[in-house]
Every structure is written in structure tokens, then in C-alpha cells.
Structure 1
Amino acid sequence: MTQKQGYPAKSYSVPTKRYCQTLSLKDNPALIAEYRKIHSRAESWPEIREGIRSIDILEMEMYICGTQVFMIVETPLDFDWDTAMEELSHLPRQQEWEDYVARFQECVPGSTSSQKWKLMERMFYLYDE
């Protein structure tokens, strides 16, 4: 389903920054459909959502186009990516989740989230005039 109206963005009471990441899925329509399903509100693991929030991630959104998944992570300005990802990798069920979703992803088995997802570099924005 394509939304042509755009997606609402949350507002926060603190200044934020965002990280953008991408990863590739295996080119298998049945696996991609299942990957989408396990990320739904009904199917995603509560411990994983709680863990993401516990490391001060304010919002995480994933978008898909074919076999490419794009993630936007919204954080407070003082968020330290490397420290947070290290903490996340040791939270309950996190590696179990990573191993579970790895069967859908083009990645090395046993990889952590930060090893699978590739941070993207911003190359354009509407520059201040």
C-alpha cells in the first residue's frame, strides 16, 4: 500500500537529530511479506520496542521499496550512536530478535543490528538561504 498523502511526523519538547540507515532483504516475495508482518504492531516483540525506547530512541520508522528497507531513527541531540547500539545489543532478547530477522536479510548470521544496518550520509537538504 502506497501512501501518497505523506506520513505525519512527531514533535518533541527537546531538540532532536535523526539517523538514516538502510539494509537489503533477500529477493523473495514470500519472505518480504513475512518480514513486513513481523514488524506490524500485532507481531513485533514488545521486548524489542521497550529496548529501543530504553536507550533513548524517540522514534524509529522503517520504509520499504522492493528489497530495500530504509530506517529513520529520531533521538535527542546528545544521543551517542555507538554507546546506544552497544547497550542495545546486550538487552534481553535483542540478539534472539536479530537472529530471527536475519533469515530475511542479506547479512552474516549472528550479526548485531549495528552490523546489519548501514548508516547513510545526508547529501542534500533545503539549505538555509
Structure 2
Amino acid sequence: MKRYTLALDLKDDPALIKEYEYWHQAENGWPEIKKSIEDAGIANMEIYRTGNRLFMIMETEEHFSFEQKSQMDASNAKVQEWEQLMWKFQQPLPWARDGEKWIIMNKIFELQHKKQQP
């Protein structure tokens, strides 16, 4: 498994943030979107929010690639419809390139507690 962490901002509007969270509740998500995520080789995905900043953790199968996922999404009308809906709530990070949404974050620190041998 590979792990990726990504960030994106929401528009700083409480009503839009509430609606965005509505669409991400398990009972309101679109099954076609979940299937497209799984079909791309993403085994686990979590999204967290603080204020209007989103943080995503993705754990992927070894064969996963962002390029392949992007190609799959481009040819999937339901994914394109979802992305259009989500763009109502989202805004790019200030340093994002044109058309870039979720930005891969760089790990700058890690602490792993090692158990001592008896």
C-alpha cells in the first residue's frame, strides 16, 4: 500500500460547507463515485476538515496512478457530473496551478514509537 495526503480549500461560506459535508455522508454519496474510487485502486480514503481547509488521506494499491485515475475520471460522465457539483463548494489553494484541485502534501515529520526489547 502507498499513502498519499492531499489538501484543498472549500469556499469560506458556512452554508456551502454544510452542504459539502451533506454530500460526503455515507447515505448521500453517489455509489458511482465510490465505485470509481475503488476501481482506480484506492483502498481507503478519509477526508477531514478544519475551517474551510480539507485534508485527505488515501491508501492505494501498488498499481494506483494519478494519471490513470485522471483518465478514468475524464471518460466517466457520472464522475464529471460529481466534480462539477463539488466545484460549487471548492476553491483551489492559493499556490495551485490552473485546473488543479487536490494538492499532494509533503511529509515534513514522522515519529514512530519503537517498542524496547526486554
1:51 aligns with 2:36: yes
- Offset, 1:20: 0.6
Highest Rg: 1 or 2? 2
Match of 1:65 in 2: 50
Percent identity between matched residues is 38
Q: TM-score, normalised by structure 2?
A: 0.82
Match of 1:35 in 2: 20
Given the alignment, which residue of 88, 99, 117 partners 2:102?
Answer: 117
Q: TM-score, normalised by structure 1?
A: 0.76
**Which secondary structure state, in structure 2, belongs to the residue aligned with residue 70 of structure 1?**
strand
Where do 5+ consecutive residues of structure 1 fail to align? 1-15, 108-113
- Offset, 1:123: 1.0
Q: What is the CA–CA distance in structure 2 between the aligned matches of 1:54 and 1:66, rounded to whole Å?
A: 31
Match of 2:4 in 1: 19
Given the alignment, which residue of 64, 70, 83 partners 1:79?
Answer: 64
**Which secondary structure state, in structure 1, belongs to the residue aligned with residue 54 of structure 2?**
strand
Code of the residue aligned with 2:34 in structure 1: it is R
Q: What is the CA–CA distance in structure 1 between the aligned matches of 2:31 and 2:2, rounded to whole Å?
A: 25
Q: Is the 8 A contact 2:40 2:68 kept in 1?
A: no
Which structure features the higher share of strand residues?
A: 2
Q: Is the 8 A contact 1:18 1:75 kept in 2?
A: yes
Where do 5+ consecutive residues of structure 2 fail to align? 93-98
Moved over 3 A (4+): none
Code of the residue aligned with 1:47 in structure 2: it is E
Q: What is the CA–CA distance in structure 2 between the aligned matches of 1:127 and 1:77, rounded to whole Å?
A: 23
Match of 2:95 in 1: none
Q: What is the CA–CA distance in structure 2 between the aligned matches of 1:79 and 1:101, rounded to whole Å?
A: 23
- Offset, 1:90: 2.1
Q: What is the CA–CA distance in structure 1 between the aligned matches of 2:70 and 2:57, rounded to whole Å?
A: 15
Code of the residue aligned with 2:52 in structure 1: it is T
- Offset, 1:78: 3.5
Q: Is the 8 A contact 1:88 1:94 kept in 2?
A: yes
Structure with higher RCO (Cα < 8 A, 6+ apart): 2
